[in-house]
Copies of this chain bind each other. A is one copy, B any other.
Amino acid sequence: MAKAKRILKWQRDPEGMRLRILEAAKQEFAAYGLAGARVDRIAAAAGANKRMLYYHVGNKEDLYLEVLEGAYEKIRAEERTLDLEHLDPPDAIGRLIDFTWNYFLRNPEFLALLNTENLAKAKHLKRSTKVKSMHSPFVEMIRTVVTRGVESGDFRVAVDPVQLYISIAGLAFFYLSNSATLSVIFGRDLLKKEARDERLEHMIALVLAALTGKSTAAFVGMPALQSLEHRVV
């Protein structure tokens, strides 16, 4: 966590301060939820005085909403860099699953923030004009991929793209978001490398088998697939 630079007494840095506050707030809200988050801790982590939060952003809920909006903006931005258009339909779906999985892995705070917001019954999201205008490009992407797949004969059947999107997200989200309790229940560490690889393989195999009708690696015991993801953004 970047500490405030105090060369002599202090320096002005409004933009930097704002960013540090939002980053600290993201970590805090992700770690403790909205009610559990502490304004003082955010300020301390940001290397700021508590008063700064109110000066630069607003009260706790404003801060929370801004963090949430930022989280959505970030994933939407990355989603847009994925162009599934010129991939083979099965590859496109595999890539989508791979991206979703790795995005969640790389951004665990995003999962926690979504859970927090759902606990609040999306109260803040509903008020956010910003987020509502950022519709995910995925649904249309998926729709065209599915259509292409059906036309080419790669896919046996058409699926509602919203259902498919929720399914793919759900397969990844639940595993990661609930890894703590699941690891206790099943008595094995679901976050260790091998377990993560196995999970990705399973998800891709499950979805592709359903769509194409052909079995793939995880279902017939082949070695793990290489992750398709490269650095995005």
Interface residues of A (CB under 8 A from B): 32-36, 112, 114-122, 125-126, 131-132, 135-136, 139, 156-160, 162-163, 166-167, 169-175, 177-186, 198-199, 202-203, 205-207, 209-211, 213, 215, 218-221
Q: How far is the CA of A162 from the CA of B185 in the complex (A)?
A: 11
Q: How far is the CB of A81 from chain B (nearest CB, A)?
A: 19
A205: chain B residues at CB < 8 Å are: 210
Q: How far is the CB of A79 from chain B (nearest CB, A)?
A: 12
Structural contact, A135 and B202, CB atoms closer than 8 A: no
Structural contact, B184 and A125, CB atoms closer than 8 A: yes
Structural contact, B206 and A210, CB atoms closer than 8 A: yes
Question: For chain A, what secondary structure do more than half of its interface residues adopt (helix, strand, loop), or is it mixed?
Answer: helix
Q: How far is the CB of A133 from chain B (nearest CB, A)?
A: 11
Structural contact, B33 and A181, CB atoms closer than 8 A: no
Task: Name A115's contact: one of B115, B125, B186, B220 (CB within 8 Å).
Answer: B115
Known A-B contacts A163-B199, A163-B202; A169 and B180 likewise in contact (beta carbons under 8 Å): no
Q: How far is the CB of A60 from chain B (nearest CB, A)?
A: 13
* Closest partner residue, chain B, to A172 (CB atom): B170
